[in-house]
Amino acid sequence: MSPAETPEVPQAPDVASRRAESGFGLVTVVGTGLIGASVGLALRAAGVPVALEDPSPTAVTLAADLGAGRLARPDDRPDVVVVAAPPDVTARVVGDALRRHPGATVTDVASVKRAVEAEVVAAADDPARYVGSHPMAGRERSGAIAARSDLFAGRPWVVVAHEASDPGRVAQVERLAALTGAAVARMASAEHDAAVAAVSHVPQVAASLVAARLRDLPADSVALAGQGLRDVTRIAASDPALWTQILVGNASAVRTVLADLAADLGEVVAALADVGDDPDAPAPGARRVLASAIAHGNAGHARIPGKHGAGPTTYGTVTVLMPDRPGHLALLFDHVGAAGVNVEDVRIEHEVGRAVGVVEIAVLPAAVDPLRAALRAQGWTVRD
């Protein structure tokens, strides 16, 4: 079996069939960084003609050379203009696009929606043609050179209509988002901004603040770090410039959630102070506050959806000890596959001080016992 023979492996989409149903004569993308160029590549792959604009001639030529579309021409009459400019100039560029293309639907891809919407609606003569949107995709690298046609595949793309948005144009933006392979959702701008504050911006701030506490810790102490700390702080490696712009752009919604979090944190700190120096006799209520903080975390965590957008699923874990060398992981998954078990997730634990890996394989609960037995039969060391 070769993966190339397997139709489910993502391939370039069927261009002919998508062109027939795309229904877009021309889409103009303004701003050819990572997101704009990826939109161009995705739409081109779906058979949509794409024109490209960018203040930088170098950037727009690179994006065109990469296949994201052709250079825009003064007589272009796009059906849709996608503004993929930096957040702090998005509203101005949207307004400009509405004026320059009087028939076009104009959307944008900024990660914060309320401020852009307010500025566009206040300034535009014809705001009905504006429909905001936010494709929730990105990567560590930036610029057109990092763009790819599948950047949005399977990712949420939130379409954010305002009160005066024309319903037909909203549907048009939703069709465009769907053509990129994204999972289209619809939200009001305030709801969107509150959502990304809670699920993205506040977790970023928390991870950064926890990681910052490690700066002055002795090296011997940092060496006690385990997988929990690694997970909590992974995104603390994010870019300060980018995140400053995001936090500034969504300041109000982020502040609301962070203020609630700060109040909860204040209660925990006060409860710890109440414990005092005698852990055997904490002040009444201190234990209750601490237990509630952890229990509320349980409840919130349980709401996070699992794989494939389905509700949260609890998987069972099969844990295997293995030497940390080329080939053994392949052998392991060979045996897992031979057992007919689908792997839902994999985690390799990093053990300190020895070249042994601990591989945790998440599978459906019913598959746990059969998989353990099958792997043991193959000679693997499997933990109970």
By CB under 8 A, what part of segment 201-240 binds a copy of itself?
202-215, 217-226, 228-240
Work out which of 71, 123, 322, 364 binds a copy of itself, going by CB under 8 A: 322
How is 138-179 classified by DSSP, letter by letter?
--SS-SGGG--TTTTTTSEEEEE--TT--HHHHHHHHHHHHH
Q: Give the total of residues touching a copy of itself (CB under 8 A).
A: 162
Site residues for a copy of itself, 94-123, by CB under 8 A, read 112, 115
* Contact call for residue 301 and a copy of itself (CB under 8 A): yes
* Contact call for residue 315 and a copy of itself (CB under 8 A): no
Q: What H or E segment, with its residue span, contains residue 218?
A: none
**Residue labelled with tokens 């998987």:** 315
- Sheet-wide strand order for 132-135: 132-135, 156-160, 183-186
Only segment of 25-33, 49-57, 71-79, 197-205 that touches a copy of itself (CB under 8 A): 197-205
Only segment of 77-85, 99-107, 167-175, 298-306 that touches a copy of itself (CB under 8 A): 298-306
Work out which of 123, 128, 171, 261 binds a copy of itself, going by CB under 8 A: 261
Strands (E), the chain: 27-30, 50-53, 70-71, 80-83, 105-108, 132-135, 156-160, 183-186, 316-323, 345-350, 356-363, 381-383
Work out which of 15, 122, 164, 346 binds a copy of itself, going by CB under 8 A: 346
* Contact call for residue 286 and a copy of itself (CB under 8 A): yes
Phi then psi for residue 223, to 5 deg, are -65, -15
Rounded to a whole number of angstroms, the minimum distance from the CB of residue 159 to a copy of itself is 12
Q: In the chain, what is the straight-line distance between the N-terminal and C-terminal CA atoms, in Å?
A: 33
* Contact call for residue 142 and a copy of itself (CB under 8 A): no
Work out which of 20, 122, 164, 269 binds a copy of itself, going by CB under 8 A: 269
